[in-house]
Amino acid sequence: MGRIYADIIIDISTEKLDRAFQYLVPEEIAGELQEGMEVTIPFGRGDSRRKGYVIGFSDTPDIEEERIKSIICINKTAVSAKGRVLTTAAWIKHRYGSTMINALRTVLPVKKKIKSSEYSTVCRNVTPDEILIEIRKLDPVRYISRIRILNALLEAKEIPQTMITDKLGVSPSVLKTLEKKGFIRIEKTREYRNPMPDLLGAGMNAKGIVELNDLQKSVVNGIREEISSGSQRPCLIRGVTGSGKTEVYMELIADTIKRGRQAIVLIPEIALTFQTLMRFYGRFGDRVSVIHSRLSDGERYDQYERAAAGKLDIMIGPRSALFTPFERLGMIIIDEEHETSYKSEKMPKYHAVEVAKYLAKREGAALIMGSATPSLNSYYKAKNGEYALFKMDMRAGEGRLPVSHIVDMRAELKAGNKSFLSRALADAIAKRNAAGEQSMLFVNRRGVAGFISCRSCGYVVKCPHCDVSMTQHLNGKLICHYCGHTEGMPSVCPKCNMRSIAGFRVGTEAVEKGLKEMYPGVGILRMDADTTKKKEDYEKILSAFANGEAQILIGTQMIVKGHDFPNVTLVGALAADMSLHAADYHAAERTFELIAQAAGRAGRGARKGEVFIQSYDPEHFALKCAAVHDYEGFYEQEITYRELADYPPVCHILVMQFFGRKQEDCMARAWEMAERAKALCDKTADMETERQSVIADEGGDLQIIGPAPAAIGRIKDIYRVGLYFKHEDVNLLTGLKDMAEKAQEQHFATPGDPEVSMQFDLDPVGMF
């Protein structure tokens, strides 16, 4: 496409994005002008000079040519923080593929005038001593919600009401009662206040700062040295759960703030609990803000404006917090770095870690990531020296790492136990029930798309070409989602000839029912997609469990992260091997992660924890390593497999995803792109370019896999087809993406061409 005209938006806010104005690009700047740049333009009747942002180019005028005005200049100096957010959008678009509008929608909050609605703040109306006296008077079981609020008000003098209702899971009627009794007062304001609570001040600050232990100090100093060395390497902390990473982050953020710069802290939404927020707030006060999904568009926009106006030092939130327009960004922290929620599922399918790397480099900021179970990708880079690595293998507070047992469920079956609970785990639960301690049962439902296994020997049907499990489709046939290989459902197990081969599923509901029969009268809570339909449900269930309202918590992977439960001394993982057989090369990594994180929940308090891992495949290295907290051992074995099979992090994968009403159209379009990609690479290889050496390198060739129908081949009558490209050089893959985008544009411009839309996923974190 030509670059005669530039589309420019004057006001940055998602509402106004569709209103772009066309301007002529003067020849002198044509070579330099790029999407995302800030320019000066004449605007309106009087041609007053305004700032605008380039969001696209075209070579045909939308209105009469004479009426199109010309750009005055590119504003090179003093690009505003918001302008830089646009540059980020342009980078994301280039790397991950999408329209500029979609990229802009990703990075900008919606600007909406808040209709003069009122905001309520819960304020403490009495002294802390009076609150303490009241807490002691109240029956801890009956008045659990009241006690929660009173406790929170001991730490903070004022707390926004939404925070209490969302994060503490307390209903407004409880607030009314406390107001009537005079303990609190509810203040209404027209102006939106900080969504973080207002804390006591001096008292809380003293409490908020923990004296770091020697290990924490050495990690902090190591990272300080790394930062001051000017290496610009991201830092990765591999630290077991509870090793005190959050304290390390806070210490480093304090440095950044001292230097007059700001910090962004990414935490997966699901782990963004009241306690975590209070820790940050207790230390840094009201120059901290938070973004979470419960904020309205207006509230979100307000936080964005406060950041741009320099009224904040720290922004905490899930991946979208990355786009906070700080003027002097000094540090980005990514906690639970391995979380797949850091990858966007919508176009543009960006990964927060990659965007953070780009931002840190551009802004000269430090990037610090932490996890108990780093992604293979990050650890690989740490091992190669691309990241600086720091380890914390001991828990900081009280509590030791638990002891784990792997239970062979095949043996249970042989011994006549057909229950979902092994005898050992059932006994262990009964013991905890009797001792007044708590148990967590994690039902692994990941990769549940119906893999086929043998209950007698644990054999799993895999694709002969791809080393991923075959998936049973509704028509009964087994299919490989990576190459399309299809075969019939076996009637006996190909390995042991028993008839016990079948699709395998366990549900949390069935587990709950079974447990209620086994342990009558014992309080049981269940947390899964069904019981957490509303956003506050999640926090409510966790709070109830933390308050001891139940002895057993059953749940899916949701329960694996989040609160600290000091009274939990037993964790059971049911169907631990379930996620091993997902039709996805990440299967072992996700399983290790889940089991290690689940095991990390036991023994956080003074009492020792115990973990039972039930599996039909007890010898699998992912389970064995998770059981003994051996990340390194897991990494070594898994990386060998990735190297052999050419999977990331050894190379990059680009998935082109095709969507259309007819499967044959999707397949045809995919084949066309495969052909074009081949031609492009042959051509590049013929030329004497740098790339030639990469392509000609042994094992460095572009691999094209597919096209094949996606794991879910059709959704709402739209067919889905995937085409995979593997190569070590990510730029080559971005080149293929650009090529495909151009080819698609031609199809769109040709009347009569089949309607097939296309999306891209670079280094996907799940299956398509």
Q: How far is the CB of 322 from ligand ADP (least distance, A)?
A: 20
Distance linking the first and last C-alpha atoms of the chain = 31
Whether omega before 26 lies within 30 degrees of 0, making that bond cis, reads no
Q: What is the Cα–Cα distance from 742 to 720, expressed in whole angstroms? A: 21
Site string for ligand ADP, 426-465 (x = CB under 6 A): ----------------------------------------
Site string for ligand ADP, 397-416 (x = CB under 6 A): x-------------------
Task: Name the residue nearer to Zn ion (CB basis): 30 or 483.
Answer: 483
Q: How far is the CB of 686 from Zn ion (least distance, A)?
A: 31
Which one of 88, 121, 243, 433 is in contact with ligand ADP (CB under 6 A)?
243
Parallel/antiparallel/unpaired status of strands 38-43 and 48-58: antiparallel
Which one of 165, 241, 456, 557 is in contact with ligand ADP (CB under 6 A)?
241
Which two tokens mark 617? 């495949």
Give CA angle at 109 (107, 114), nearest 5°.
175
DSSP letters for 94-141:
HHH---HHHHHHHHSPPP-PPPS--EEEEEE-S-HHHHHHHHHHS-TT
Return the C-alpha torsion angle 271, 275, 277, 280, nearest 10: -120
Partner that binds at residue 397, options Zn ion, ligand ADP, none, CB closer than 5 to 8 Å by kind: ligand ADP
Partner that binds at residue 213, options Zn ion, ligand ADP, none, CB closer than 5 to 8 Å by kind: ligand ADP
Q: How far is the CB of 571 from ligand ADP (least distance, A)?
A: 16
* Closest of 721, 727, 738 to residue 669, by C-alpha: 721
| Burial of 98 from C-beta contacts in 10 A (0-12 / 13-18 / 19+) | buried
Task: Name the residue nearer to Zn ion (CB basis): 466 or 541.
Answer: 466
The position carrying tokens 């926004």 is 160
Q: How far is the CB of 594 from ligand ADP (least distance, A)?
A: 17
Partner that binds at residue 539, options Zn ion, ligand ADP, none, CB closer than 5 to 8 Å by kind: none
Q: How far is the CB of 265 from ligand ADP (least distance, A)?
A: 12
Which one of 194, 246, 256, 375 is in contact with ligand ADP (CB under 6 A)?
246
Does the protein bind ligand ADP through residue 247 (CB under 6 A)?
yes
Which one of 93, 124, 148, 245 is in contact with ligand ADP (CB under 6 A)?
245
Partner that binds at residue 244, options ligand ADP, Zn ion, none, CB closer than 5 to 8 Å by kind: ligand ADP
Element (H, E) at 198: strand 198-199
Q: What is the Cα–Cα distance from 474 to 488, expressed in whole angstroms? A: 12
Partner that binds at residue 711, options ligand ADP, Zn ion, none, CB closer than 5 to 8 Å by kind: none
Task: Name the residue nearer to Zn ion (CB basis): 385 or 464.
Answer: 464
Q: How far is the CB of 447 from ligand ADP (least distance, A)?
A: 26
Does the protein bind ligand ADP through residue 396 (CB under 6 A)?
yes
Please write down the HEC assignment for all residues of 130-178: HHHHHHHHCCCCCCHHHHHHHHHHHHEEEEEHHHHHHHCCCCHHHHHHH
Handedness of CA 92, 94, 97, 98 (dihedral sign): positive
Task: Name the residue nearer to Zn ion (CB basis): 328 or 485.
Answer: 485
Instruction: Please give the order of strands across the beta sheet that includes 471-472.
Output: 471-472, 478-479, 486-487
Partner that binds at residue 216, options Zn ion, ligand ADP, none, CB closer than 5 to 8 Å by kind: ligand ADP
- With b meaning 16 or more CB within 10 Å and e meaning fewer, what string describes 683-716? ebbeeeeebeebbeeeeebbebbbbbbbbebeee
Task: Name the residue nearer to ligand ADP (CB basis): 212 or 685.
Answer: 212
Partner that binds at residue 273, options ligand ADP, Zn ion, none, CB closer than 5 to 8 Å by kind: none
Please tell me the count of residues contacting ligand ADP according to CB under 6 A: 15
Which two tokens mark 420? 């979902």
Partner that binds at residue 514, options Zn ion, ligand ADP, none, CB closer than 5 to 8 Å by kind: none
Partner that binds at residue 466, options ligand ADP, Zn ion, none, CB closer than 5 to 8 Å by kind: Zn ion
Task: Name the residue nearer to ligand ADP (CB basis): 195 or 244.
Answer: 244
For the chain, state the CA radius of gyration. Answer: 28
Q: What is the Cα–Cα distance from 768 to 765, expressed in whole angstroms? A: 9
Does the protein bind ligand ADP through residue 239 (CB under 6 A)?
yes
Does the protein bind ligand ADP through residue 242 (CB under 6 A)?
yes
Which residues make up the interface to Zn ion (CB under 5 A)?
463, 465-466, 480, 482-483, 485
Q: Which stretch binds ligand ADP (CB under 6 A): 49-57, 190-198, 221-229, 245-253?
A: 245-253
Task: Name the residue nearer to ligand ADP (CB basis): 199 or 295.
Answer: 199
DSSP letters for 39-77:
EEEEETTTTEEEEEEEEEEESS-SS-GGG--B--EE--S
Task: Name the residue nearer to ligand ADP (CB basis): 177 or 567.
Answer: 567
Alpha carbon distances (Å) from 542 to 525, 531, 539, 601: 9, 12, 5, 13
Partner that binds at residue 247, options ligand ADP, Zn ion, none, CB closer than 5 to 8 Å by kind: ligand ADP
The position carrying tokens 């005898």 is 423
Partner that binds at residue 262, options ligand ADP, Zn ion, none, CB closer than 5 to 8 Å by kind: none
Q: How far is the CB of 494 from Zn ion (least distance, A)?
A: 16
Phi, psi of 53, rounded to the nearest 5 degrees: -130, 135
Partner that binds at residue 485, options ligand ADP, Zn ion, none, CB closer than 5 to 8 Å by kind: Zn ion
Other CB atoms within 10 A of residue 255 CB: 17
Partner that binds at residue 210, options Zn ion, ligand ADP, none, CB closer than 5 to 8 Å by kind: ligand ADP
Task: Restricting to residues 193-222, name those near ligand ADP by CB under 6 A.
Answer: 210-213, 216
Task: Name the residue nearer to ligand ADP (CB basis): 337 or 728.
Answer: 337
Whether omega before 348 lies within 30 degrees of 0, making that bond cis, reads yes
Positions touching ligand ADP (CB under 6 A) are 210-213, 216, 239, 241-247, 396-397
